[in-house]
Structure 1
Amino acid sequence: MGALLWKLNLLFLAGILFSLKHCASHRDTGRKYSFMQDATSAPIISYYDYIIVGGGTAGCPLAATLSQNHRVLVLERGGSPYGNPNITNLSAYGVPLSDTSPSSPAQRFISEDGVINSRARVLGGGSCLNAGFYTRASPRYVREAGWDGKLVNESYKWVERVVAFRPSMRQWQSAVRDGLLEVGVLPYNGFTYDHIHGTKVGGTIFDHNGHRHTAADLLEYANTNTITLLLHATVHRILFTTHKERSNSRPVAHGVLYKDARGTEHRAYLNHGTKNEIIVSAGALGSPQLLMLSGIGAGHHLREHNISVVLDQPLVGQGMSDNPMNAVYVPSPSPVEVSLISVVGITNFGSYIEAVSGAAFTSNGSEFTMFTPKIGQFSKLPPKQMILQAIAKAIGRIESLDQEALRGGFILEKVIGPISTGHLELRNTDPNDNPLVTFNYFQDPRDLERCIQGMGTIEKIIDSNAFAPFRYNNISFSMLLNMIANAQVNLLPKHTNTSMSLEQFCRDTVMTIWHYHGGCQVGRVVDNDYKVLGVDALRVIDGSTFNYSPGTNPQATLMMLGRYMGVRILRERLAADETN
């Protein structure tokens, strides 16, 4: 037992956690849509009814819907997910998140809080990179958003016909489920996409062959005769004009300037007509960034970057939030399956409990789980300090460990909300660079209290009868916490106390679960129809409009929102045409 503990501590001190391995294999079809092309082949000037900036989780279903009746252009700064097994195969989960090359489908950024994070740079957005959990928003969320419940349900079902599946339940996930019920996270709601308090089994975007289905697959619904999709097309700014006959000379979005991979400049304009629009779906970092680059933002900040002010709007980039996540590794005396999140405990105190498992590692570093220094988890640092050398050193040490030390899984908690918020600012005027973003994790003590309660629930699950086959009885919860705390490839000062408080643990080991949002929130930057306040012919439809993240995981609702707003826009346009 002592030798095992030594190996476990070596594992954590190295900062390496696990990799995923899936028994099933999938041969990718390499499917490409007939309307998909590289931006280098695009005309220098073109015209459309709708220009959508960002072919991500919301942008793809939005484009597919609008294309039913109108000419649509989608501008995606990344490439295609098709033909890339590191995206499409479950067995390669995490590989894109560890790729820091300029062509990676995941663009790494470090918040000013020192937490390493990632943003999507690929057709399909974050649905090409995430752990696949699929769950709807709560009825309360739908009501508070002011959405039409009937259309919301229809839109979810439209999405689910293509991308959602029921996961297989094996030993680890079943033990976490039963442990949640044993410690009182009730009732048991079985398998459901719905968001209901208690314990449930949710959906997944990985099918039974371990093949990922993404928002890009929703383009199957598109009208191939009216949609154009350009890859590697980076929008530099939205173009505005003023029409005196329209809304008292308010700025009117009428086109975009974008560049292809060769740096050639293109312009796409809206066709003449008062109902045509530009819709920004560039994500919680990209959308506020693009508004600022286009002259919509705090005037003093834009002038600092020599950007002409179209609209002095200081709320652009405000209200940024990232749900803090903390996790505990539980070494197992017996082998466990490899799994991503399938079970969730939706507590009544403001924390979600989830789990992953798997202990396989290949020396070539080609397979990972949710937790590994290669993707930045357990790697926290002060702003402006680099940890690439530390990460590389930690990764190298994994090869000296045997599989016994890598056997086990994680139980994690994610704070609902959160109440703490931050802001986003431009770093420079290059749209390819990440903006500066601060999330202020645990700034509000109520968020910290929810983390503490969540960690307390995890302790009870580990001690439950249901979880007994997967724990060593002589490894205490405080030992597990200290293993995690010592695991970080962390340039922050270490705490050497032998019994770490849950409060200190939450602060020291906070990670992202990639559910950040805000920056263009409804009621502040856009109205209830997602139209940008103060200008015409411009909307924002993506996670930047959220005041808090929907459900336990937001991707289902982002896809739903793209479909939902596409239908709303078509209906409103049809009604206006009939009136005229």
Structure 2
Amino acid sequence: MPDDAFDYIIVGAGTAGCLLANRLSRDASKRVLLIEAGRKDNYPWIHIPVGYLYCIGNPRTDWLYRTEADPGLNGRSLRYPRGKTLGGCSSINGMIYMRGQARDYDAWAAATGDDSWSWANVVPDFKAHEDHYRMDEGADPMTGDNSRFSDMHGHGGEWRIEKQRLRWNILEAFAEAAVEAGVPRTDDFNGGDNEGVGYFEVNQRSGLRWNASKAFLRPARARRNLAIVTEAQVEALVILRDAEGGKVCRGVVAHTAGRRIEYAARREVILSAGAIGSPQILQLSGIGAGALLRKHGIDVALDLPGVGENLQDHLQIRTVYKVKGARTLNTLANSFAGKAMIGLEYALKRTGPMSMSPSQLGAFTRSDPAQPHANLEYHVQPLSLDAFGEPLHPFPALTASVCNLNPTSRGSVRIRSNRMTDAPMIAPNYLASDQDRKVAADSLRQVRKIAGQAALRRYEPEEWKPGLQFQSDEELVKLAGDIASTIFHPVGTTRMGMPSDPMAVVDSRLRVIGVGGLRVVDAGVMPTIVSGNTNSPTLMIAEKAARMIEQDARSARA
């Protein structure tokens, strides 16, 4: 090892990478390098909540990926945003704090044979970094008890969770209509069973986005043993043979400022480049399906067929209802006076539409009564537009996007060449299974059921998209393919499993199977997608992984 070698090299300063850098650099005797392909998170629109509109699709902050033409979407290709800046996707995402359901993690424990991934054993990892507003409020003044929330939520950690700072009458009406349709009210989506309707909690602090860079890198920047390199894209891992003839990772090769630099690692390289970036780096390094690697002229270091497979994502179907007599963002933001009022409110109070997450009201429910658990998630917004990034419609409207939480379709991420500068082929394979198509049709009917309830009647909702003329399963599935889009939740492409599983990429301690000194710690390791938004589960994975890395280092010294 050269004298300037690092103990740990973390590739990707996104959600997981920022937390790992914080945790691993707490030991002053260990040198930690964090490498990020994007720039610093000093772009102003990162920090204003509504600024996601200016970050997604912007090369300053987004990798600008697109999917391959997807048969399930009637041949459409989708924009596929991934954060390219310090904080990664936490710098451009919807800021929704969501864990999923207890059954998700119990299924991970079963898939890996490791009970440390069960719900009971991941809750402490969620709480370890939380700073939840409910804990600010103290005990219930009537009962003196706050145990229901303190058992589930943490206080004093780095990851701030707050209430949203706005309310809309049209959203209140939708919530009441959902209750009338049989969806219960909930005041906490994160206790293990998220079924119900309520407002999303958000990762903000006083009306500003709270990303992983602020939360975890800012407190650690003064540590002399932590080096952070931005605008450095990793070309490949350095894979060598160890003394016993096995494969071991000893560093990375990166390009920065026109130079090619090799960084050496004494202990471990940790890939945290995300469900798209991590499999791409593995494949470029000769770790993946042998036939794919040979096709692109890459020497096969390890034939690991699961790399890049098992891609899962949440596909949302956006339904739009015209309404009457309702205040919506369409009417408010389509005038100079309205925009001026929005800007002034945010400047003075950090409230109002500029403090909005992309979705404000949420609901988790069942696509049909026979479902054993909530299998749908709604993102409800007091606005409408043709597509993300397009202008708002000139009429008042409500959007209710609904997604299948547990899709059975599986896609892939595969390199298209042996060059790191060529984006990989992303093929989500949406709506490929009969089950997913059935849930899509049922979910559109359920939206109609909610829209027809008495609570919304005074706003005279009119289905504008997809349109009441479409009624059969076949028509609704085709319409879903025409109008559905990703919610930006790719997972599973480096999934964990038992070493006996030929498609597992990492074991339950997130070590790449067959290569020493190499782990993957990001959303790609999820065996199955969680029943909700994926950012906070990724932080939990990183929290648990940091402890595993430290434990394994101590065991190696013993």
Contact 1:198 1:345 in 2 (8 A): yes
Give the secondary-structure state (helix, strand or coil) at the position aligned to 2:129.
helix
Give the secondary-structure state (helix, strand or coil) at the position aligned to 1:442.
coil
For 2:68, the equivalent position in structure 1 comes to 111
2:361 is matched with which residue: 332, 340, 343? 343
For 1:569, the equivalent position in structure 2 comes to 549
Amino acid at match of 1:436: M
Q: Does 1:480 align with 2:465?
A: yes
Pairwise CA distance, 1:354: 2.0
Pairwise CA distance, 1:416: 1.3
Contact 2:248 2:515 in 1 (8 A): yes
For 1:55, the equivalent position in structure 2 comes to 13
TM-score (norm 1): 0.76
CA distance in 1 between counterparts of 2:233 and 2:555 reads: 34
Higher relative contact order, structure no. (Cα contacts within 8 Å, ≥ 6 residues apart): 1
CA distance in 1 between counterparts of 2:105 and 2:295 reads: 39
For 1:229, the equivalent position in structure 2 comes to 228
Give the secondary-structure state (helix, strand or coil) at the position aligned to 1:502.
helix
Contact 1:80 1:122 in 2 (8 A): yes
For 1:238, the equivalent position in structure 2 comes to 237
Give the secondary-structure state (helix, strand or coil) at the position aligned to 1:58.
helix
For 1:190, the equivalent position in structure 2 comes to 187
Q: Does 1:420 align with 2:377?
A: no
Which sits farther off after the overlay, 281-290 or 152-161?
152-161
For 2:265, the equivalent position in structure 1 comes to 270
Give the secondary-structure state (helix, strand or coil) at the position aligned to 1:413.
strand
Structure 1 residues 183 and 206: CA distance shift in structure 2, 3 A = same
Give the secondary-structure state (helix, strand or coil) at the position aligned to 1:180.
helix
Amino acid at match of 1:481: P
Pairwise CA distance, 1:198: 2.5
Contact 2:104 2:528 in 1 (8 A): no
2:245 is matched with which residue: 246, 249, 252? 249
CA distance in 1 between counterparts of 2:277 and 2:33 reads: 18
Give the secondary-structure state (helix, strand or coil) at the position aligned to 2:104.
helix
Give the secondary-structure state (helix, strand or coil) at the position aligned to 1:119.
coil
1:352 is matched with which residue: 377, 389, 395? 377
Matches within 5 A, 1:181-580: 181-186=179-184, 188-196=185-193, 197-209=195-207, 211-217=208-214, 218-222=216-220, 224-244=223-243, 248-260=244-256, 262-271=257-266, 276-333=267-324, 334-336=326-328, 338=353, 339=356, 340-348=358-366, 349=371, 350-358=375-383, 373=387, 375=389, 405-472=394-461, 475=462, 477=463, 479-482=464-467, 501-523=475-497, 524-577=504-557, 580=558
Structure 1 residues 470 and 552: CA distance shift in structure 2, 3 A = farther
Structure 1 residues 560 and 470: CA distance shift in structure 2, 3 A = farther
CA distance in 1 between counterparts of 2:119 and 2:452 reads: 41
Structure 1 residues 62 and 404: CA distance shift in structure 2, 3 A = closer
CA distance in 2 between counterparts of 1:404 and 1:574 reads: 59
Provide, for residues 463-484 of structure 1, a one-character-per-residue CA deviation record: whole Å limited to 9, x for no partner: 1222234434xx3x3x53149x
Contact 2:61 2:92 in 1 (8 A): no
Contact 1:56 1:126 in 2 (8 A): yes
Pairwise CA distance, 1:288: 0.6
Pairwise CA distance, 1:372: 5.5
Contact 1:45 1:268 in 2 (8 A): no
Contact 1:193 1:202 in 2 (8 A): no
Contact 1:107 1:121 in 2 (8 A): no
Give the secondary-structure state (helix, strand or coil) at the position aligned to 1:59.
helix
Contact 2:105 2:119 in 1 (8 A): yes
Q: Does 1:78 align with 2:38?
A: yes
CA distance in 2 between counterparts of 1:67 and 1:137 reads: 29
CA distance in 2 between counterparts of 1:422 and 1:471 reads: 40
CA distance in 2 between counterparts of 1:264 and 1:404 reads: 48
TM-score (norm 2): 0.79
Contact 2:441 2:473 in 1 (8 A): no
CA distance in 1 between counterparts of 2:189 and 2:100 reads: 12
Pairwise CA distance, 1:432: 2.9
For 1:14, the equivalent position in structure 2 comes to none
Give the secondary-structure state (helix, strand or coil) at the position aligned to 2:398.
strand
Which sits farther off after the overlay, 544-553 or 338-347?
338-347
CA distance in 2 between counterparts of 1:45 and 1:425 reads: 36
Contact 1:45 1:266 in 2 (8 A): no
Identity %: 24
Provide, for residues 511-557 of structure 1, a one-character-per-residue CA deviation record: whole Å limited to 9, x for no partner: 11111122211121111111111111100111111222223101111
Give the secondary-structure state (helix, strand or coil) at the position aligned to 2:82.
strand
CA distance in 2 between counterparts of 1:405 and 1:270 reads: 56
For 1:5, the equivalent position in structure 2 comes to none
Contact 1:202 1:343 in 2 (8 A): yes
Give the secondary-structure state (helix, strand or coil) at the position aligned to 2:217.
helix
Which sits farther off after the overlay, 534-543 or 115-124?
115-124
For 2:122, the equivalent position in structure 1 comes to 152
Pairwise CA distance, 1:286: 0.6
CA distance in 1 between counterparts of 2:536 and 2:286 reads: 32
Contact 2:103 2:119 in 1 (8 A): no
CA distance in 2 between counterparts of 1:149 and 1:480 reads: 38
Which sits farther off after the overlay, 331-340 or 557-566?
331-340
Contact 1:96 1:104 in 2 (8 A): yes
CA distance in 2 between counterparts of 1:45 and 1:180 reads: 63
Contact 2:272 2:520 in 1 (8 A): yes
Pairwise CA distance, 1:344: 2.2
Pairwise CA distance, 1:498: 12
For 1:129, the equivalent position in structure 2 comes to 92
Contact 1:109 1:119 in 2 (8 A): no
Give the secondary-structure state (helix, strand or coil) at the position aligned to 1:446.
helix
For 1:139, the equivalent position in structure 2 comes to 102
Amino acid at match of 2:429: N
Give the secondary-structure state (helix, strand or coil) at the position aligned to 2:38.
coil
Provide, for residues 79-134 of structure 1, a one-character-per-residue CA deviation record: whole Å limited to 9, x for no partner: 1223x2221112323111132x4x44342323331222222211111111111111
Amino acid at match of 2:542: G
CA distance in 2 between counterparts of 1:551 and 1:159 reads: 21
Which sections of structure 1, spanning at least 5 residues, go unmatched?
Answer: 1-43, 360-370, 376-394, 486-494
For 1:173, the equivalent position in structure 2 comes to 171
Pairwise CA distance, 1:194: 3.0
Structure 1 residues 175 and 575: CA distance shift in structure 2, 3 A = farther
Pairwise CA distance, 1:322: 2.0
Amino acid at match of 2:80: N
Pairwise CA distance, 1:75: 0.5
Amino acid at match of 1:289: Q
For 1:88, the equivalent position in structure 2 comes to 47
Which sits farther off after the overlay, 63-72 or 329-338?
329-338
Contact 2:57 2:81 in 1 (8 A): no
Amino acid at match of 1:506: A
Contact 1:79 1:105 in 2 (8 A): no
Contact 1:352 1:414 in 2 (8 A): yes
Amino acid at match of 1:354: H
For 1:66, the equivalent position in structure 2 comes to 24
Give the secondary-structure state (helix, strand or coil) at the position aligned to 1:199.
strand
Structure 1 residues 154 and 457: CA distance shift in structure 2, 3 A = same
CA distance in 2 between counterparts of 1:141 and 1:202 reads: 20
